[in-house]
Amino acid sequence: MSRIGVFVCHCGENIARTVDTAAVAQECGKLPGVIHSVDYKYMCSDPGQLMVKQAIAEHKLTGVVVAACSPHMHEKTFRRATAGAGLNPFLCEMANVREHCSWIHESRTAATEKAIDATRMIVEKVKRNAPLSPIHIPVTRRALVIGGGIAGIQAALDIADGGREVVLVEKEPSIGGHMSQLSETFPTLDCSQCILTPRMVEAFQHPRIKLYTYSEVESVDGYIGNFKVTIRKKARSVDEANCNGCGACQAVCPNKKIPSEFDAGLGKRSAIYVPFPQAVPNIPVIDRERCSYFRAKAKGSTKVVCGKCAEACGKGAVHFDQQDTLVTEDVGAIVVATGYRLYDIGKDQDSELLKGYGEYGYGTVPDVIDGMQFERLASASGPTAGKILRPSDGKEPTSVVFLQCIGSRDPSKGIEYCSKICCMYVAKHTMLYKHKVHHGQATVFYMDIRAAGKGYDEFTRRAIEEDGARYVRGRVSRLYRDGEVIKILGFDTLSGEPIEMDADMVVLATAMRPQAGMAELAQKLSVSYDKHGFINEAHPKLRPVETNTAGVFVAGACQSPRDIPDSVAMASATASKILGLLSNEQLEREPTVARVDESTCSACFHCERVCAYGAVEHKDIRDRSGNLVRVVASVNKGVCQGCGTCLATCPSKSLELDGFTDAQIHAAIMAF
């Protein structure tokens, strides 16, 4: 016979205002098997927890029901208290009479009645609870970081410095990410490359970091502590071990007019190229789409068209016949740090949600550029060696108009979120422009200025007050080329007057979007993502760098628009989480996992077909002489995540899910 204790919490006034907690305790006290039923002001307080502990000892309770807030809030608290009194923590459950009752109903009678019902259902469930013990699973004590931008580099370095091996995978030929493209950074205006490059080199040279550049994650199997990751090393066409980065191949490449991705299309590169001079590793890659050798081959020509790079290479490192290779790495934890891409304002959008901005002439009016292109113009290592020259004729623009919120905060274009960094980098751009073109006038069209952050508001003020940027609150409705200038038609919402002005150049602060292919990657990792493709954190407040899949963490702009300090902070946070995780040889997991009743399993393996984790295995049942009698399904407790889909699928009901067994659910319904 069960000996259940019921503890009804007032939550101060939160529950007691609407629910007659004394009546709940009294009614539940009448239930068969309930031998102790009380109410108290704050069950989660120390005295409240002590009540639970004392009652367990005094009444030899076999189960505890706390009617209080959501189990998501305090289940851990009360299970800990239960364990503290020597009772298995899984014999404690919560009835939610706050979020699901007192807070959403006005009628005291109805709320009290509902609270009694809810508690009764949990009492009946708890009568069928079984003591459970945590599951121990071994841990592979190394980590994978996906993405070699500043977030990925930081995470990798922190984990490696903490003593664990890291596998860092970057899809581009070099690590560094977007930060390497930036000229200066806000709010200090220190040189982006100057602070980044040493970290890139450090990551490259770190004895505990294994770097895969020009590589992508092909597939991920396994589970927390035990991931098996397959990485596709794309064919670089250059032998990394032999290349010494001398650059002779690039010098002889006849195809030098390819728009450079690194320079956001403003500069040119060769078909065999290192993305930028400080690239890590400093090893070129052949762009097979653009290389004459490969293009001829793709067309079916048997003639060797070029091959100059291979001839020029003193080390014989150019290998045209290199193939993609797959390597597997065992890791215990994964960081997703894939960063962002910029919204492309043209009408042809990759997502049906996005509509594009035909009216801003990007791509048709040559002197309309985006923020990243401006970064490259302003960068000392950029195509203009740091001079602000407009793309159409190379003249120095004397009037530059900056448009904020291009895409961002515009639900009708499909992006309702704020991209967070644009206000700051636009302010930075106006300053960089003023510092380089002293007679120039920067004008900014903005919706709101969002400069929350240490030194951020001061920074935007400096742009306006010291560097004379003109900020106009309002939107631009149309812009077009008129001879040498760009005509701009807009509206100043503060003065309430239309604005018509000329500019030599227009810079669009386009929205931040997650990288292409995020949905596919998220599916490989079984992590959830929002409709834009940003990875969802496990909890927006309390678990900001974890994902819903144990062992997979998230850092930087792939989670939502982030600036550099945010990304770095997240990266260090993931590193800290992972170092904690990897500090153990074994992991403890909640024992809410499925198990098979082997005596009734009919081995149809429907469970195997529905299991998203591959947790169902085939198990041989043998007699004492070792002869195979039959095969049954068996659940790998380390892999099972406890969703219970197999239970509802099993025709013979031969599966159970600890914590949510059929008997428990049935009992709760019987108490309905």
Partner 1 sequence: MSTATAIENKSPASAGRFEPRIAAFVCNWCTYTGADLAGTSRVQMMPNVRMVRLPCTGRIDTAFIIKAFERGADGVIVSGCHPGDCHYSEGNYHARRRFAMFKELMNFMGIDERRVTFSWVSASEGRKWGDVVDETIERVRALGPFDDYKTLLEETP
Partner 2 sequence: MRKAFITQENLSVLSGDLERAGRKVVVPRPSATGRMEYGAAQSGSLTHLGGALPARSLKATFLPPTEALLRWKNAKDDVVLEPSEPKALPTVVLGARPCDAAALAILDKVMDWDYHDDPWFARRKATTIVSLACDGVDSSCFCTSVGLSPDTTKGSDVLLTAVDGGYLVEALSEKGEALLEENKTRFTAARGEAQAAERRKAATDKVRKNLAVDARTVKDWLGGNFEHPFFKLGSRCHACGACAAVCPTCHCFDIVDEPEGLEGGTRRRNWDTCQTSKFTLHGSGHNPRNDQHARLRQRVMHKFHIYSERFGETLCTGCGRCARACPGGMDLLEALREIDKLRRSSRPSAAPIVTPTNPPISGGAR
Partner 3 sequence: MNELRQLARKLLADKTVGVVIGYEEGQGAVTRPSFATSPEQAEKLVFDARCVQNLASYLSPRRSTVRSLGKPAVVVKACDAKALAGLIREAQVKREDVVVISVACGGVLADPRSGKALSEAMVADRCRDCDGAHTSLADHKVGQAKAPAFGSPKVDARLAELQAMTAPQRFAFFKSVFSECTRCNVCREVCPMCFCARCMADKSEPQWIESSPHLRGNFAWHMLRAMHLAGRCVGCNECERACPAGIPLSLITRKMQKVVSERFGYSPSDDPNVPAPTGAFRLDDAQEFIR
- Cα–Cα distances in angstroms (integers) from residue 372 to residues 30, 171, 173, 272, in the given order: 70, 20, 19, 24
612 binds, among partner 1, partner 3, partner 2, none (CB under 5 to 8 A by kind): partner 1
| Rounded distance between C-alpha atoms, residue 325 and residue 32, angstroms | 66
- Answer for which of 605, 617, 619, 636 binds partner 3 (CB under 8 A) is 605
Q: What residue type is 593 in one-letter code? A: V
Nearer to partner 1, 479 or 611 (CB): 611
Give 99's DSSP letter. Answer: I
Nearer to partner 2, 213 or 661 (CB): 661
CB of 32 vs partner 2, minimal distance in Å: 6
| Rounded distance between C-alpha atoms, residue 87 and residue 452, angstroms | 49
Is position 665 an interface residue for partner 1 (rule: CB under 8 A)?
yes
Phi/psi of residue 485, each to 5°?
-110, 170
- Answer for which of 106, 348, 626, 672 binds partner 2 (CB under 8 A) is 672
Question: Which parts of 94-113 interact with partner 1 (CB under 8 A)?
Answer: 96, 98-101, 103-107, 109-111, 113
Is position 124 an interface residue for partner 2 (rule: CB under 8 A)?
yes
Q: Which two tokens stand for residue 637?
A: 């407790």
Residue that is written with structure tokens 């410095």 in the block:
161
327 binds, among partner 3, partner 2, partner 1, none (CB under 5 to 8 A by kind): none
- Sole window of 67-75, 175-183, 254-262, 595-603 interacting with partner 3 (rule: CB under 8 A): 595-603
| Rounded distance between C-alpha atoms, residue 330 and residue 11, angstroms | 47
DSSP letter string, 34-79: EEEEEEES-TTSHHHHHHHHHHHHHHT-SEEEEEES-HHHHHHHHH
Q: In Å, how far from its chain's centre is CA 661?
A: 33
- Answer for which of 32, 134, 277, 614 binds partner 2 (CB under 8 A) is 32
Is position 523 an interface residue for partner 1 (rule: CB under 8 A)?
yes
The site that binds partner 3 (CB under 8 A) totals a number of residues, namely 19
The site that binds partner 2 (CB under 8 A) totals a number of residues, namely 9
Label residue 466 exposed, middle or buried (CB < 10 Å: 0-12, 13-18, 19+).
exposed
With beta carbons less than 8 A apart as the criterion, state whether 334 and 227 touch: yes
With beta carbons less than 8 A apart as the criterion, state whether 361 and 169 touch: no
- Answer for which of 365, 603, 621, 671 binds partner 3 (CB under 8 A) is 603
CB of 671 vs partner 3, minimal distance in Å: 12
| Rounded distance between C-alpha atoms, residue 503 and residue 412, angstroms | 27
- Answer for which of 609, 614, 620, 622 binds partner 3 (CB under 8 A) is 609
31 binds, among partner 3, partner 2, partner 1, none (CB under 5 to 8 A by kind): partner 2
- Cα–Cα distances in angstroms (integers) from residue 373 to residues 262, 362, 409, 632, in the given order: 10, 12, 22, 61
- Sole window of 10-18, 26-34, 276-284, 335-343 interacting with partner 2 (rule: CB under 8 A): 26-34
> What SS3 state is found at 499?
strand
Is position 651 an interface residue for partner 2 (rule: CB under 8 A)?
no
Cα torsion through 210, 213, 218, 220, rounded to 10: 30
Is position 353 an interface residue for partner 3 (rule: CB under 8 A)?
no
| Rounded distance between C-alpha atoms, residue 544 and residue 531, angstroms | 18
Is position 649 an interface residue for partner 3 (rule: CB under 8 A)?
yes
- Answer for which of 319, 606, 619, 637 binds partner 3 (CB under 8 A) is 606
| Rounded distance between C-alpha atoms, residue 426 and residue 433, angstroms | 10
352 binds, among partner 1, partner 2, partner 3, none (CB under 5 to 8 A by kind): none
Is position 297 an interface residue for partner 1 (rule: CB under 8 A)?
no
Nearer to partner 1, 499 or 665 (CB): 665
- Cα–Cα distances in angstroms (integers) from residue 198 to residues 180, 190, 281, 321, 630, in the given order: 11, 14, 13, 34, 61
Alpha-helix runs per DSSP H in 438-512:
456-465
Alpha-helix runs per DSSP H in 517-617:
518-525, 564-581, 606-610
List the x/- string, 607-646, binding to partner 1 by CB under 8 A. ---x-xx---------------------------xxxxx-
Is position 120 an interface residue for partner 2 (rule: CB under 8 A)?
yes
384 binds, among partner 3, partner 2, partner 1, none (CB under 5 to 8 A by kind): none
The residue ranges that bind partner 2 (CB under 8 A) are: 30-32, 120, 124, 599, 670-672
The residue ranges that bind partner 3 (CB under 8 A) are: 599-606, 609-610, 649, 651-654, 662-663, 666-667
The residue ranges that bind partner 1 (CB under 8 A) are: 70-73, 96, 98-101, 103-107, 109-111, 113-114, 117-118, 121, 523, 526, 528-529, 548, 592, 610, 612-613, 641-645, 647-649, 657, 660, 662, 665-666, 668-670, 672
